[in-house]
Amino acid sequence: DLSSDRAALLALRSAVGGRTLLWDVTRPSPCSWAGVNCEDNRVTVLRLPGVALHGTIPTGIFGNLTGLRTLSLRLNALTGPLPSDLSACVTLRNLYLQGNLFSGEIPEFLYSLHDLVRLNLASNNFSGEISPSFNNLTRIRTLYLENNKLSGSVPALDLPKLEQFNISNNLLTGSIPTKLRSYKSSSFLGNSLCGGPLGACPGEADNGDFNIDGSKKKKKLSGGAIAGIVIGSVVAFVVIVAILFLLCRQKSSKKTSSVDIARTVKHPEVEIPGEKLPELESGGGYGNGYSVGAAAAAAMVGNGKSEAANASGGAAAGAKKLIFFGNGPRVFDLEDLLRASAEVLGKGTFGTAYKAVLEAGTVVAVKRLKDVTITEKEFKEKIESVGAMDHESLVPLRAYYFSRDEKLLVYDYMPMGSLSALLHGNKGAGRTPLNWEIRSSIALGAARGIEYLHSQGPNVSHGNIKSSNILLTKSYEGRVSDFGLAHLVGPSSTPNRVAGYRAPEVTDPRKVSQKADVYSFGVLLLELLTGKPPTHALLNEEGVDLPRWVQSIVKEEWTSEVFDLELLRYQNVEEEMVQLLQLAIDCSAQYPDKRPSISEVTRRIEELRHSTLREDQPNAVHDIDDGSSR
């Protein structure tokens, strides 16, 4: 009953300390203590993440907490083996013990907790083998065992409900069993494993055709199949040769078609690839200096530091020039841009973006548009309206260049990169920890930028809100980039990597309503809070359907499990985090009418940021581990 639950919690408190010491033990009921929830006069939820618990949990505690459904002790400094009387908690559904120093073998009793749905033992010192008895946990959906010292081979797990699985960074060896081969390679990396996503094991064909135990299926091809393969190969070969032949002919006939800029700047020594834009990205990689010279800004070819664009050249130089917006100083001209050294920032839907460092030291981002099919007049009209957008939360478009073959847009360069890179890029040492203050500031900047765009008229929307289009200032304010581009390019360039952000009602990605922008912004907020990329948001990375995933979790009433671990260290803002999560869920509602307007979104973010600042002045955010507390 509740009094024995209370006694057990007090025993836990005196054994492992930490912030449980702040519990008001004068209260007769434990249900109001931080991290404790009750139902029907029993403690059902105990959540103590990141509260500086330390030491070994003795037996005699959890044996009494038999009403527990959720136990979260993650991100503490708990040591030793798991207490054996945890076996009495047979109604446990969610067990989060990651980020501690637990050691010893994964105890057998865990396999008798048949109600377990989520089990996270990652980032501890567990050793020994992974037991095939995990197969007893038939309801398990999440099994995280990464970053331990588990050894031996991986047993043939067959868990029908398993969705999330990770055993990376252990000491495991051998072949990945067939049923686990559908998980991506990151679930297995950091071991000596082979097979499935890690590539075939020695002596194993790479077609993934295996028996349950990992042995290869013996199959013979019929005579018909062999004949089919042979004929198919011959036909494919002939087709490829024909295509190559046609391409070669086309290439030689077009050889000098895009030389406008080069001719303009009189740069005969640079050969301009006529039809195919240079594949700078594949060869060069980031950080290499390339001349933007010659067709240059145009082609941004890796021609080395060619002395392009000498200033004396250019009979027609006046005809083709950079057109600047606003009244700001024209600190560079086309020739400067052509001479700049360029580095590829990335390839997007509308073309490739480059960082260009001009000789005078100015740095700009140049976007080279592909697939612009509209006329120069139309382009000018549309780009003028983009250039007229002026708000501190937008990345300003400074200038553009238009010729028959090249269309360039020049933006302010944002040295801190994109939100996407910040969240999913370098996770190693030296990385800025993304605390609540930074994340909520980025969210607010992005919301304000979108609010400004929407204020320009009921039909004005961004159409491509996603984390790579939110760029950051040095003080980590979010700024919205890439607005208005969808209207400049042909249908084949409509945003195609935004599936995870796209509202369910959007069928034509070029016609995106303001409410659809709000949906995308909601997904972006979920990404900020969970640290997870939405489906397909990143190349080569499978994400999750964030709105569905978050909603499934929130329904199960363990909201705080969705937050990025890094964010959870800032416990004193959990209330605000939950409010932002609620806002994100409202924005990503299935029906457009149910979503708030972006002005309301901005207001709600402002409010919840104010409440953090009010409570925590002078320092907005404290780290839970630095001893500060609410």
Residues that bind ligand ATP (CB under 6 A): 345-346, 348-350, 353, 365, 367, 395, 411-414, 417-418, 464, 468-469, 471, 481-482, 495
Nearer to ligand ATP, 180 or 365 (CB): 365
Spatial distance between the Cα atoms of 436 and 573, rounded to a whole number of angstroms: 7
Nearer to ligand ATP, 296 or 353 (CB): 353
What's the min distance (Å) between Cβ of 488 and ligand ATP? 12
What's the min distance (Å) between Cβ of 502 and ligand ATP? 12
Q: How many CB atoms lie within 10 A of CB 16?
A: 24
What's the min distance (Å) between Cβ of 83 and ligand ATP? 47
Q: H-helix or E-strand containing 407? A: strand 407-412
Chain residue whose CB lies nearest ligand ATP = 348
Q: Which amino acid is at 215?
A: S
Pairing of β 142-144 and β 118-120: parallel
What's the min distance (Å) between Cβ of 98 and ligand ATP? 30
Distances (CA, A) of 89 to 32, 41, 47, 66, 136: 21, 16, 15, 5, 16
Burial class (CB in 10 A: 0-12, 13-18, 19+), 432: exposed
What's the min distance (Å) between Cβ of 420 and ligand ATP? 6
Q: Is residue 175 a contact partner of residue 194, using CB atoms and an 8 Å limit?
A: yes
Nearer to ligand ATP, 301 or 353 (CB): 353
What letter would DSSP give residue 470?
E
Q: Is residue 526 a contact partner of residue 588, using CB atoms and an 8 Å limit?
A: yes
Q: Write 440-443 long-range contacts (CB < 8 A, 24+).
A: 440/576, 440/580, 440/605, 440/608, 440/609, 440/612, 441/475, 441/476, 441/477, 441/478, 441/609, 442/470, 442/472, 442/476, 442/477, 442/478, 442/528, 443/478, 443/524, 443/525, 443/528, 443/580, 443/605
**Sign of the dihedral defined by the CA atoms of residues 103, 107, 113, 118, in that order:** positive
Q: How many CB atoms lie within 10 A of CB 608?
A: 21
User: Who contacts 52 (Cβ-Cβ below 8 Å, separation ≥6)?
Assistant: 17, 18, 19, 76, 77, 624, 625
Burial class (CB in 10 A: 0-12, 13-18, 19+), 222: exposed
Nearer to ligand ATP, 85 or 343 (CB): 343
What's the min distance (Å) between Cβ of 491 and ligand ATP? 14
Pairing of β 397-402 and β 171-175: unpaired
Q: How many CB atoms lie within 10 A of CB 102?
A: 24
Nearer to ligand ATP, 369 or 608 (CB): 369
Nearer to ligand ATP, 67 or 533 (CB): 533
What's the min distance (Å) between Cβ of 346 and ligand ATP? 3
Helix (H, G, I), strand (E, B) or coil at 146: coil
**CB contact burial 526-555 (16+ within 10 A = b; e otherwise):** bbbbbbbbbbbbbeeeebbebbebbbebbe
Q: How many CB atoms lie within 10 A of CB 484?
A: 21
What's the min distance (Å) between Cβ of 464 and ligand ATP? 5
Helix (H, G, I), strand (E, B) or coil at 394: strand
Q: Is residue 187 a contact partner of residue 167, using CB atoms and an 8 Å limit?
A: yes
What's the min distance (Å) between Cβ of 495 and ligand ATP? 5
Question: Cα-atom radius of gyration of the chain, to the nearest Å?
Answer: 29
DSSP string, 328-381: S-----HHHHHHSEEEEEEEETTEEEEEEE-TTS-EEEEEEE----S-HHHHHH
What's the min distance (Å) between Cβ of 483 and ligand ATP? 10
Nearer to ligand ATP, 408 or 624 (CB): 408
DSSP string, 514-552: HHHHHHHHHHHHHHHHH--PBTTSSTT---B-HHHHHHH
Nearer to ligand ATP, 355 or 439 (CB): 355
Q: Is residue 397 a contact partner of residue 410, using CB atoms and an 8 Å limit?
A: yes
**CB contact burial 580-595 (16+ within 10 A = b; e otherwise):** bbebbbbbbbeebeeb
What's the min distance (Å) between Cβ of 415 and ligand ATP? 7
**367 belongs to an annotated ligand binding site:** yes
What's the min distance (Å) between Cβ of 255 and ligand ATP? 28
Nearer to ligand ATP, 75 or 465 (CB): 465
What's the min distance (Å) between Cβ of 479 and ligand ATP? 9
Nearer to ligand ATP, 339 or 367 (CB): 367
Nearer to ligand ATP, 150 or 516 (CB): 516
Spatial distance between the Cα atoms of 266 and 288, rounded to a whole number of angstroms: 25
Nearer to ligand ATP, 81 or 417 (CB): 417
3-state secondary structure 208-221: CCECCCCCECCCCC
Nearer to ligand ATP, 202 or 283 (CB): 283
Q: Which residues are annotated as a binding site for ATP?
A: 367
* Residues in the annotated binding site: 367
